Chain A
Amino acid sequence: MSRRALRIACGQGFWGDRLDAPIEQVRRGPIDFLMLDYLAEVTMSILQKQKARDPSQGYARDFVPLLEEIFPDIVEKGIRVISNAGGVNIAGCREGLVEAARAAGVADRARIGTVTGDDILERLPDLIAAGHELANMDDGRPLSEVLDLVESANAYIGAAPIVEALARGADVIVTGRSTDTALTYAPMIHAFGWSWDDWDRIAHGIVAGHINECGAQASGGNCMIDWETIPDLADVGYPIVEATPEGPFVLTKHDGTGGRITPAIVKEQVLYEMGDPREYITPDGIADFTTIRLEADGPDRVRVHGVKGRPRTDMLKVSISYRAGFKAVGTLVYAWPDAVAKAQKADAVLRARLDRLGLSFDEIRTEYVGWNATHGPLAGPPPEDLPEVELRVAVKSAEKAPVERFTREIAPLILSGPPSVTGFAGGRPRVQDIVAYWPALIDRSAIEPGIEVEVVEA
């Protein structure tokens, strides 16, 4: 094994992240691996809907033109790309990549690996019949209660199939619902030959993955500490993990890029979306975040070491989404003087109208953006002389009709409500489907035999 640190770069923290970030990661300095995370909980249901409308869709479409752009670079430099861009149509994504490789003129030099078996939407009735209750981890309800409403169901799978694809020579690996963290530590397990029960080293990989997976949030973006002095966020350097065979790693970014990496900034990202820090559970092991040691290791370099791990569990987490009604959000802007009082009056008029129409909702929520939308009662009374405030009223219902009617009650307030109102150029609010999240656990044995790895020449 090479003694040189392995450089694993993050190119995308979510689907919709900066388009050229992965290109910069590939071109502005040395890296060995590029990982791109495209999947959030709600993304899987959006992709299932796209696939239902058009069977060629259902994956993160941005990934294919990106690869067409960087294929010559990665083939030339020997950079390998790992992404969960496959969503719920991994084969479709691979077809796109094969075409992209041909268009880029590297078809004979690029091997595409795929990992399938995480998508269990079609298997749900059989799994339930076989005794897998898939109970909601938050409230214990069995999945059978909402089975008819389910839109997507995917097991979070770990690094093993990615490591296999790397061993079989894949240059680009596309998965479905692999864990975000596995995209970063699979290359470590592959390159350093870590044993699957080397829990402390794997725990270092998990921590590296957690820090890396949210893009620039680890390198100066969305960072609270000294935010006003963080340089050049328009050219922020996305994070790069320099991994070592022993486990400890350094978080850094390319020289000459903007942003900042310090222990305090890395601490912010370590705590992001944290549950019980003593047990950060992944399919490949449990990391104890209370054992992480962080220290500065030169400018824009933070060394991470000391992480303790524990054995993996027999269960995998399953991410299920299901239809749960409809909602809409209406907004109007009220101007000084007495902006909040006018907006409050408009809210009262609107609610009286909804009553007169006999519409009932599961919830109506009013917020005043500019006064209390994010801090609620902690914001205190409205400040005197506020120049303007945005009235934001949101409703939800199991039925579409009342929500649809609500969307037609916002614009009339312009002529029939309190004065000094503007900000309605966006038109009538849109009725949105509510897609609720159903986290569950399932025995590994129900998933892992169905996982398949394929590696093909482009």
Chain B
Amino acid sequence: MTTRVQLRHLAHARSGDKGDTANVGVIAYSAQAYALLERELTAERVAEHFAGMIDGPVERFELHNLEALNFLLHGALGGGGTVSLMTDAQGKVYSTALLRAEIDVPADVLASLDTATGRAGR
């Protein structure tokens, strides 16, 4: 059995820019959540999520050591820097747009989050 939840319940994130490319680093809240995201949050899935918002391809890199994924969203910033007409010309909040993605989460992964999202130990 799975429950559909927004990515923001599985991970936190930070984004930034390099020219016209935005990067979104996604950091899982638990080892189980990381394993799930490694399987489900593919570059293809992220490209679909951002359909209509980015012109170029999506690349994904895994950082198993940090239980994190790094996505490069090419052509995401309307030219980037001062060329861009966007409010978010430097991709500072692209991270939050990705955290809207919905993921089907098995019960054991959900249980791992109940612990991981507790305040203690962070």
Contact = CB atoms under 8 A, between A and B. Distances in A.
A291 B18 CA distance: 23
Interface in B71-97: 72, 78-83, 85-88, 93, 95-97
B55 to A, nearest CB: 13
Interface residues of B, number: 42
A138 interface: yes
A408 interface: no
Given A41-B81, A436-B82, A439-B19, A290 B97 contact: no
Contact of A268 (B14, B81, B93): B14
A267 B28 CA distance: 10
A229 B25 contact: no
B85 A329 contact: yes
Contact of A278 (B61, B81, B82, B93): B61
Given A224-B95, A273-B17, A374-B97, A324 B83 contact: yes
A293 B122 CA distance: 16
B118 to A, nearest CB: 10
Main secondary structure of the interface of B (DSSP, over half): mixed
A374 B25 CA distance: 17
Nearest to A262: B122
Contacts of A71: none
Contacts of A395: 85
Given A377-B53, A378-B100, A434 B82 contact: yes
Nearest to B52: A377
Contact of B65 (A42, A229, A291, A327): A291
B14 to A, nearest CB: 4
A267 B68 contact: yes
A229 B119 contact: yes
Given A375-B96, A436-B82, A272 B25 contact: yes
Nearest to B99: A224
The 7 closest A-B pairs by CB, nearest first: A271-B25, A394-B85, A273-B16, A365-B85, A268-B14, A373-B87, A224-B12
Interface of B: 12-14, 16-20, 23, 25, 27, 49-53, 61-66, 68, 70, 72, 78-83, 85-88, 93, 95-97, 100, 119, 122
Interface of A: 41-42, 138, 222, 224-226, 229, 262, 264, 267-278, 289-294, 306, 324, 327, 329, 363, 365, 367, 369, 373-378, 392, 394-396, 432-437, 439
